[in-house]
Structures are given as C-alpha cells and as structure tokens.
Amino acid sequence: MWSAERRLRPLRSWLVPAACCALLQVTGIAGVASQERAIALEKLQSGRVFQSEEVRALQADDFANPGMLWVEKGEKLWNETAGADKRSCATCHADASVSMKGAATRYPQMDGASGRLLNLEGRMQQCRVERQKAPPFRYGADELLSVSAYVSHQSRGQPVKVDIEGGAKKHFDAGRAFYYERRGQMNLSCAHCHEANQGRTLFAEKISQGHSVAYPIYRLEWQSAGSLQRRMRSCLSGVRAELLPYGAQQYLDLELFLAWRAQGLPFEAPGVRR
Amino acid sequence: MTARIQLPAQSRRGEVIEVRILIQHDMETGFRFDDVGKPIPRNVINALSCHYNGVEVFRADMSSGIAANPYLQFYTVAEASGDFVFTWVDDEGRQDTERQRLNVVG
Amino acid sequence: MKRRRFVAGVAGAAATLALPGVVRAQVPLAPASTLDPLIWVVTRGELIRRGRVTLEMPQLADNGNSVAMRVLVDSPMTAAEYVRAIHLFSDRNPQRNMAVFYLGPRAGRAEIVSRVRLAGSQRVTALAEMSDGTFWSGFNDVIVTLSACIDSLD
C-alpha cells in the first residue's frame, strides 16, 4: 500500500503539467525587462505564511524560538573585545538596538573601498579583520552566525530595501540570471519551484516564494540556526546540483537578487522554518 | 552553554507559576554519522534540576528523545521571593547552571 | 496526499487520534503495556489505568527532529495526592525511553511542555506515577514524514 510507486505518483501527477506551465512562464519571464517583477510587490508573502501553525507559533514566541539562543549569544559576542586593540563591536557601534536598526535590510551592498559586493556576514568579516585587527570568523562558524542573528534581529519589522544601481547592477543581473538558470540533475531553476509552483504542495511541504527576510533561520531539519547560504546549498542539493562553497560570488549575487525580489517585506529574523 | 529562563515578572504567594527554560545544546543522538561515515558519539543533556530557594521543585532525566536546544516548561507554586537555580549535565560531563530571581508579593 | 487529507478530515480538535488501520499496520508495534520490559522497570507489573493523562502533540509533525509535546495529568497536586513522575515512551525511536519528569506537591500543576524527537510515525505514551502508587497512562499517535535519528538530511 505504501510502496515507493504510490508515493511517487502524486509527485509525477503534478510535475508534468506544472513543468509545462513553468517552462512557459519561465521563458516568458526571462524575456521581459530585467526589473519587471515575477511576483508583484503587493503579492509578496513571507515564508512564514507557508509554514504550519505550530512552526509559526514557535517563531512568534520570543522566548521559545530557538533562533533567539543565537541572538543572545550574538549579543554576548557583540560586547566581547578582540584583536590587539581589544575592540568589540560595541566599541564603535555602541548599542546595537539603535545603531543596527534597519542595517540588515540594506544588505547585500557595494563596499566603496574595495568595490566588492558584501552581504552582512562579509561586512562583519571586514570589520573584524580591518577594524578590530582580529582573525576573521570562519564562514559558517557559530560565532559569525550568532552575531549575524543578533544584528539581523535588530532590523525585525523593518522593510527590506537594497540598492541595485551603480556598481551593484552587474551583481544584480548575475544573481537574476542564476535564479532563472536551470541546474542540477533535475534541471530546475529556482523559479520552477518558487515562482511557478509557490503555494503548491511538494511531498508534505508547501513551496514558499523563496524570500530571504527571515534569515538567519532556525531550521528544524538542521536542528540548528543557519544562514541564507546554507539554505541555498540545501536547495542546490535538492535539485542535485553542485554545491558551491560558502562565500561563492554566485551566492552573493543571488542574495542581492533575492533581497530586491523581497523589497518591502519586513525582516523577521530569527525565523523558524521546518 | 547559552541558556535562558523565563519567570513571571511578579507573582503572588500561593500562585501556580509557569517556569520556562531553553538551553542551547545539540543533544547529539548518537545515531548520526559524519560525512566520512564515522558515527558521531551521543552527547545529550541527561539530567536537569531546578531548585527554588534551595529546594528541588523539578527534575528531568532526558535522552536523545528530547529535541536539540531543549525546551522545558513546568509549573511550581510561588512561595517566598528567591532564586531559581537550574543545573544540568550532559553525557560528556559538562555541567552548567543558570539562575533567575522570582519576586513574590504577599 | 490522500493520507493527509483523510487525517485532517477525521481529526477535528481531538488531542488523541486512532490512526487508520492501514497506517498502524506499517508501524512495528511496541505499545506500552504491563508486559513491555521498559514499562515493567517502572511499574513492576502494577496495573496501568487508562485516563487522567492527556498527551497533546500535532497530528502531523513538520519535522521529526522537533515535535511539540504537552503532557497534562489530572491531579490535585496536594501533599496528600500528587504526581510523582511522568515517563515518556516512544514505540519506534531507536531509544524508546524519551524522558522522565519528576514532580511533587510543590508543582501545583502536573503539566510539562517540551519538544521531542520522533523517528517515524508512531505512538507516544505518557505514564504517570502517582503518590498513591497507582499508574495511569495516555498516548498520542503522530504521523512523521521526516524522521529524526534515521533520516539523514541536509
């Protein structure tokens, strides 16, 4: 009764017509002006909406939300000195609830000095190395994740708004191209799930619109908090594509595109997702 | 270990209050394998106790069946103002403690 | 999915749910009973009465790694009559003893909320040990699609 075949049948039954629709829609989208939105601003929905009531309740509970443990750890690290000059984040930025309010909503952004695109973690690494004169956190390290959670949390409720003009334009275009490019053994692009099939059920889950406003999230599957890049790698794994290393330029460009795509959605870090 | 406790801001003597604790811990089950196939040894918080003004009011024996970053919510009767002291230990023998004061009126 | 629609249609607000026979038949049965060796260690063969114990869990777990659990025992929680301990058993996890919560008259209320791991769809049993030496039990059946412990993900 519960043979593998039976489980596959529901997948196959929606996949074929969906894939056809997706193909039409995706090629249609790729053909229009680059700043046209596949999902209109007023139709944007946070991933929270696609989660179950239990998961939403856990995110809303500021005490029990496991992501808050990373926020708390991040607050401790914010005040911890490092480097030869014994500077902490607080040395320059004082009270994060004031100085960092809204900061995360403007990332990724161009760094004037280096001409590179930086996400929030990249900016923190830059501060650590150049201003604190301390060794950088390893990408994916718990410390970096904790401070990122703490800083992102200060922007909770603030709408996402990134700048895609000037130096950022080429990164935005690259991110957008990556989003609509098919990849992996399953030959799917991000749009196949998160645009063509958002709101529909894939196995036991509802496919979200794929926004980045809740990151870093506590993911039940990871039994831990994790970054947006970790989630992207999970997606790549899902379509059986090559996992690019953390910090890869493609991820950064994609982060910029996603932030533009979610424009106006309020930040909700730390999110809880299944 | 990062841990947080939640007690009511204020309580009356004799009132049944809600006590919550959330601890950052992997609660490694011992059934997982790393990416080269080596088993990851079990390490869970196996015992936790809560003392209120020096008297044990709650105790838990836990195993891998409790989720990572364990959350516990239980109840106790508010008596005198004083400290709630939580202590816990994991399979590796790492012990930690966290405390919070409860204010009781009446 | 047919199974999920069936479950959602039948369940309503009930805290406990008897799974349709076709699903139960798939689960290797190890129900909590007087004969179960893990239960016997606690009860020493004493009769286990049904009732007074309510175990609330979601019908369908988002992820077996973290499933909300609330156990409530009907007891006055006075010095004369109280819950001594609540034992949680899984009938399918590789480690069937999940937890033991020790209470007492100072608890005021015999209720514990936590989050548990479930390795597959199963029945979770809560066994309450009373101050008068009696044992009472309740259970909850949960459907789990992404299992803890045995599904390696990420």
A positions 48-77 inside 8 Å of B (CB):
63-64, 66, 68-70, 72-73, 76
B positions 36-55 inside 8 Å of A (CB):
none
The string of pLDDT tens digits covering residues C54-108 is 999 999 998 999 999 999 999 999 999 999 999 999 999 999 999 999 999 999 9
- C-alpha A215 chain-centroid distance: 5
Catalytic, A127? Answer no
pLDDT of residue C15 exceeding 60, the answer is no
Q: Establish if B105 touches chain C: CB-CB under 8 angstroms.
A: no
Q: What is the pTM of this model?
A: 0.87
A·C CB contacts under 8 A: 38
Q: Establish if A140 touches chain B: CB-CB under 8 angstroms.
A: no
As for the ipTM of the complex, it is 0.96
Contact B71 C99 (CB under 8 A): no
Q: Establish if C148 touches chain B: CB-CB under 8 angstroms.
A: yes
- C-alpha A168 chain-centroid distance: 18
What's the pLDDT at C45? 87
Nearest to B42 by CA among B85, B81, B92, B89: B92
* Residue A184 pLDDT class (50, 70, 90 cuts): very high
Q: State yes or no: cis peptide before C20, omega within 30 of 0.
A: no
* Residue C34 pLDDT class (50, 70, 90 cuts): low
Contact B68 A224 (CB under 8 A): yes
CA of B71: which chain A residue's CA is closest? Answer: A64
pLDDT of residue A62 exceeding 90, the answer is yes
**What domains can you pick out in chain B, each with its CATH number?**
3-105 (2.60.40.10)
| CATH number corresponding to C33-144 | 2.60.40.2470
The string of pLDDT tens digits covering residues A13-27 is 455 444 444 444 444
CA contacts within 13 A on the Cβ side of A120: 30
Please provide the average confidence, as pLDDT, over all residues in chain A: 89
**What domains can you pick out in chain A, each with its CATH number?**
4-61+160-273 (1.10.760.10), 71-153 (1.10.760.10)
DSSP class of residue B41? P
Contact B22 A224 (CB under 8 A): no
Burial C61-70 (b: 16+ CB within 10 A, else e): bbbbbbbbbb
Contact A69 B20 (CB under 8 A): no
Mean pLDDT in residue range A250-266: 97
What is the β-pairing status of strands A271-273 and A217-219? parallel
Mean pLDDT in residue range A27-56: 80
CA of C89: which chain B residue's CA is closest? Answer: B65
Q: Establish if B59 touches chain A: CB-CB under 8 angstroms.
A: no
